[in-house]
Structure formats: C-alpha cells, structure tokens
Amino acid sequence: MFESYSLFLSALYVVQGLLGLFEQRLYTDTQRARAPLLSRVHLLSSIAITVVGVASAFWVRLSGLPTIWYPTILSCGLFVQIVVQGRMYRAMGVSHSPVIDRVSARLH
C-alpha cells in the first residue's frame, strides 16, 4: 500500500514539475521582474521536482521503499514546491496560475 502511495506521489511530482515549467513560459517579463529571485527558484524547483518524481518512481518500482517514511518525505517535498509557488504569486501580484486562464480560454 505504501509503495502504491509513493508511486502516486511520484506521479504528482512529475505533474507539478511539468506544470511549473509550462507556467514559467506564460509569465510576462514584467511579472518576472517583480520577483526575479522567486521566479528563478520556482523554475529550478520545478526542474528538480520533475527529476525527483521520475527518479522516485523508478526507485520505488525497481527496489521498493527505502524506508516506511518515504511517502512522508515525498509529501514534504510537494509542500515546499507549493510554498515557493504561493510566494511567487504574491510577489508577482497574480491571484492564480496563468495555466488556469489558458485552460479556461481553450474550454470556452
């Protein structure tokens, strides 16, 4: 059960990382200028989250759980990414992800 949950969290890592990378392309230069450090940290953390998600899925699938605490550690990593993203939104003055606007425009 913990392995399945860890694989699920690994998949969330990949999705969160890829959405973060896609989101970076949608910000304007003005928005990035409002929070240059947080924008870079978000970009780097999105790359790291994606890589960790893929590596974690392979690790758990091939070798099993390294420790029973592994799902908790993965959950903390997602929390860090969410905190960075929230602070970046506040610093840029946006209320939500530009990905939501893009998806909403395509659906309507």
Residue type, 45: S
Question: pLDDT tens string for the chain (108 positions)?
Answer: 888 889 999 999 999 999 999 998 888 888 889 989 999 999 999 999 999 999 999 999 998 888 888 888 888 888 888 899 899 989 988 888 888 888 888 888
pLDDT on residue 31 = 86
Cα–Cα distance for residue pair 49/15, rounded to 1 Å: 9
pLDDT per residue as tens digits for the range 53-79: 999 999 999 988 888 888 888 888 888
Distance of alpha carbon 52 from alpha carbon 74, whole angstroms: 9
Task: Please answer whether residues 45 and 84 qualify as being in contact, where contact means their C-beta atoms are separated by less than 8 angstroms.
Answer: yes
Provide the strand spans (E) within 1-108. none
Domain boundaries along the sequence of the chain: 8-14+31-101
